[in-house]
Every structure is written in C-alpha cells, then in structure tokens.
Chains A and B, each alone.
Chain A
Amino acid sequence: MRNRSTIVLASLGVVALACIAAYMTVGLRGNVWFALELRAVRLAALIVVAVSIAVSTVVFQTVTTNRILTPSIMGLDALYVFSQSLLVFAIGGLGFAVLDPRLKFAGEATVMVILAALLFLPLLKARMDLILMLLTGVTVGVLFRSLSSLLARLIDPNDFVVLQGASYANFSKIHGELLIAACALTLVGIAIVWRMRHVLDVLALGRDVSTGLGLEWPRVVAGMIMLVAALVAVSTALVGPVAFFGLLVVALGERLIDTRRHAILLPAAALVAVIVLVGGQTILQHVLGGASTLGVVIEFVGGLVFLVMLLHGVRR
C-alpha cells in the first residue's frame, strides 16, 4: 500500500517534469533566450496557480468533510473579485492603476481572508449538511458577484475597465508582476499545510471525532479557512476565478492513490494539477495552435466530474 503510493507519486512527478520540459521547449524559435525567459515566468506562474488551487481544495474539502465542495464552488473567488471591486471603489481606478500591484494584492488578500473567516466560520459551526452548504455557497457566490457588479456600476467607466481585466480566468495572460509575492505566499501556505498534515487527517474525521481526539476544532478550522482564503487569493490574482479545476485535480489525485492521507494526497493533487495545467497549456498553445482556451476546457471537464460525483452519490 505504501509502495503503491510511492510509485504513483514518482510517476506523477516524472509526467509533471515531462510536461514542464515540453512547455519550455516545444516550438521554440527566433530569439531563444528571450522566449525561454518569457516562458519560464509563465511556467512559474502556472505552477504556483496549480499548486495553490490543489492545496486549497484539499484543505477546504477536509475542513468541510466532503469531497464535492471546493473553495470556488463556495464562492471564495467571487469574494476575491468583490474585494478587488471594493478596493477600486474605495481608492478609484486611477489610484488602483497607479498603486504598486504587490501592495494592491496584499490589500485584497487581507480583505478576503478577513471576510472569509467572518463568513465561513459561523457556517461551519452551524453543522450544516452538504446540500445546505452547497446552496449557501451558490448564494454567497451570486451575492458577491452581484455586489461586485453593483460596485462596477457605481464607479466610472474607466475604473470599470481596470477592474474587468482582473476578473476573468485567463491562463495565457498572466498578471506576472505579482509572481514573487504570490510565490512567497504559496510557499508559506504549503509549509503550514505540510506541518499540519497529521492534524488534517484527524480533521477529516469530522468535528466530534476530532475534538474527542484532542483538537481545538474551532481554532484549527478558523486557521485553515484563512489559509485557504489566502491561497485562493493567490490563484485568483494570477489568472482569475476558476470554478472546477480544484475539484477535478483532487478527485483525480485521490482516485490514483486511493487514500485520503494528506501526506500522500497533497503532493499527488499538486502534481496532477501541474500536469493538467502545464500539459494542457502546452498542447493548446503549441500543438493545437491556440484553438481554444484552457480555461474553457478545464471548466468543461471539471464540471462533468462535478456532476458525475454528485450523481454517483459521493457521500458528504
């Protein structure tokens, strides 16, 4: 059993490296160094996005003890877009455009982490069942999207253009100026999650059992929700909101390793995410010549997985 997961993880690692190599080298022409540098920056961004979405989804599913919800289904990225709108509204489009993007990102991420903690902790404490949670998530998502568009109508059209560029998923146009801050935040997040991997295993047993085993449940869950919010902020800031990608890669990873142990699941989900994102981008960009956008393909497949999981009755 242990052997099997090691083999799966190693194979995933090899495939991920192959995807990375392909992304860097396929169709290279012209000024090679310039192209390589450009690709390296994009590659780094894709990896950061892939890892942060995979890790945040695993943690979120563990905290809510179900395998269907993801941060984006629960409207967390809508919350990020709302934080962004709120910031544009507060300081104006010009100020927003002039502001150091890193400072902006820090501001948005902070607003989002606080909102997420205020919103989701009471929901989790109320011991809701899955359907109610799902309904709440959809409602929360719609609420924040509507609030964002309300704010968009209140601001002047120039500010609106600034805002709009930030609110759609786009894997080929990446907001690269945030890369270093995003990298740092993701690394810190991963380090914390990795240290907590055994605690997460216990958390997955549910509130009562994990309290019985000695966790301070409300405190641990509050910390985890804030961490998930920060990771969602990273991925949304770099490429915009994506709904089903996390669900897709975690479901795939779990299927491959056949366990919910976080020490194995976390790396597996992250590697699958890198493979899907970097590999998919390579194929679309260089083999199919940009015939479609990766975002659409991933959402389509991920949406199907979501439906299958719902219909197949993955309990809770």
Chain B
Amino acid sequence: MIVVNNVSLAHQGAPILQDINLEIPETGVTALIGPNGAGKSSLLSLIARLQPLQQGTITVDGLTVGATPSRILARTLAILRQDPAIASRLRVRELVAFGRFPHNGGRITDEDRALTQAALERFDLTSFADRFIDTLSGGQRQLVLVAMTFCQGTRWLLLDEPLNNLDMFYARELMRALREIADSERRAIVIVLHDINQAVTYADYIVALKHGAVVANGPPALIANTTSLQRIFGYEMPVESYHGKPIVLNHL
C-alpha cells in the first residue's frame, strides 16, 4: 500500500499540493485524474522520490520515501514520467534491458535477457527490437518506455500519462495490457489519465485532484456521475450507460 500523509508542496511560493492524505490500494489499477495543473504529476514524482518531499511523509509498502536507499526503492517501485527525452543512442532492446539495472547493476544475465524479451513481447515490440530509439515515432517510443518500466519487475508501476502520443488503437492495447498485468501478476499500477472514459473503464479505483487537493476518490461507479465530474472538471457532462457500464460523454 502507498500511504501519503499530510503532503504539501510549493514551487517558488506557489502552492502545488496542499495537505494530501491518501491511501492507494495495493492491487489493481488506480487512476489519477483531474484538470491540468491539479498536481497529479507532482504527486507521482514525490511518491517516486524524483523530487524531495517538502512536507509530510510517504511510504511505499512500508518503505519510507526519502529515507530508503534509491536502489532498494527501485526494486519496489518503477516510474515513467511524461516524455523523458532519451539523448543516448540506444537500440530498443538495450533501453528495455535497462529496466533490469536495479537488480543486476549492469551485468546482464540470461534471466535478464529472458525478462527483456518477455517485456518486448508483452508490448508487441519485437518487430523493431533492434532499431535505434531515435528512429521511432513518438507513440512507439512511449510504448518502449512503458516496456522498460515494466521490465523493472517491481510490484508498483507509476505511469504519468502513458497514453500521450498514442492513437486509439495503441491506447486501448496499452490499457488492456496494463489491466492484464494488474490481474494476472497482482501488481499495482498507478496511472495519470486525461481520458475519463479510459479511467472509468480500466481502473479499479479513481483519485481525483483539483487545485492541489483530493476532491474525490473511490471506485469508478462512485465517480462516474454528472455531479462528481462537474466538481472535478468544472463543467456538466452527461453520463450514459452502455451494457450496464457508465460512459461519459465528456466531449459534448
């Protein structure tokens, strides 16, 4: 379980997160939603110790963020931030294999090779495994980075808007793959999503942020209604039912 306790964050005097208290369930897919500038990415990077905590505490499976050595945490939690620019000239397979670094310190074993291959297959990347990443499209690169994060083999996967740059087909493929990982391997996935329907369809739990505070959290059934969504996103959107599941007509 990830426990966030009284966490506040300010950047040059401007408050970004205010007194966040949150428990993220230890299995399944948890979606972080909310308007731009709500603090979703900041919260994720605080949990993953990418920036120092200013106030409050965070624990991941009992490990205190900030006090736990980075390498230990890297075996429990993997993070993918939005669009990290990789300047290095690397092939897809090499980049995915970096996910094994917290376990092997750079000395690649046969087991690492097998796990890398499995990650490539899982995200359907085998056909361009030997291409250089700077020759890929934005969407393909995004998938490669998700595969690397997956290859880290951690119980927690934190993904910041992984659907960026993906077309409808690949967005659906990726969400299905993540759902499958959460179900079959009992790993926990925390994912920042902008598409409310992806969140409602694939997540088990939704946390909504607005102006740096949690405004709603609970299973999709509790969030997917006009009142809650208006409170989160600031306008009225119809919610219909399709085969018994809620579907948000957010573009109307």
Contact = CB atoms under 8 A, between A and B. Distances in A.
Q: Do A and B come from one complex?
A: yes
Interface string A36-68: 000000000000000000000000000001110
A198 B79 contact: no
Nearest to A262: B106
Contacts of A260: 88-90
Contacts of A198: 101, 105-107
B196 interface: no
Interface string B84-96: 1111111000100
Given A65-B87, A206-B87, A260-B88, A214 B98 contact: no
Interface string B64-93: 000001111111001111001111111000
A156 interface: no
Given A198-B105, A199-B106, A202-B101, A211 B70 contact: yes
Interface string B157-201: 000000000000000000000000000000000000000000000
A59 to B, nearest CB: 14
A214 B45 CA distance: 14
Contacts of A214: 70-75, 101-102
A211 B85 CA distance: 14
Nearest to B71: A214
Interface string A199-211: 1011011101101
Contacts, number: 80
Nearest to A201: B106
A interface residue count range (under 10 / 10 to 19 / 20 to 34 / 35 or more): 20 to 34
A259 interface: yes
A202 B98 contact: yes
A173 interface: no
Contact of A206 (B45, B69, B86): B86
A66 B88 CA distance: 8
B87 A212 contact: no
Interface of A: 65-67, 197-199, 201-202, 204-206, 208-209, 211-217, 254, 258-261, 315-316
Interface of B: 45, 48-50, 69-75, 78-81, 84-90, 94, 98-99, 101-102, 105-107, 149, 152
